[in-house]
Amino acid sequence: MPKPDHAPGYVPNPHYSQEDWDEVCDNPELTDAEIAELRPAAEVLPPALYAALVNKGGRPKAEVRRVPISLRVDPDVLAAFKDTGPGWQTRMHEVLAAAVKAGLPRSDAA
């Protein structure tokens, strides 16, 4: 997938040209020699600083990954859980886990 030219939601301003931006830019162009001297941050920063700056990439990985499923429930049941606010899926999982722990009735049809 190609990388977009601009950030999501970017709207060009017709009153400014690239030349206008180049005129006010205070970042000089890097020379080939300067580019050749560049090093990865891990090589030049103190380890503690580099570790603090590294993107951790979201929430920590769970020990046991949950399995996505499709489940049909009555609309009022779903609405009741959603009405409890953010985290309703976790609360629904907790109710199901408690039912498993309490011992679900088994079907003799198996």
Tokens 């009022």 -> residue: 76
The answer as to whether 11 is a domain residue is no
Domain count of the chain?
1
Q: Could you list the residue range(s) of the whole structural domain that residue 46 is in?
A: 18-53
The answer as to whether 44 is a domain residue is yes
Full-model pTM: 0.44
The answer as to whether 7 is a domain residue is no
Tens digit of pLDDT at every position of the chain (110 positions):
666 677 888 888 889 888 888 888 888 889 999 999 999 999 999 999 998 898 778 888 888 888 999 999 999 999 999 999 999 999 999 999 999 999 887 777 55
pLDDT at residue 77, as a whole number: 95
At 101, give phi and psi (nearest 5°). Answer: -65, -35
User: How open is the CA angle 75-78-79, to the nearest 5 degrees?
Assistant: 85
At 60, give phi and psi (nearest 5°). Answer: -65, 150
The answer as to whether 24 is a domain residue is yes
The answer as to whether 43 is a domain residue is yes
The answer as to whether 98 is a domain residue is no
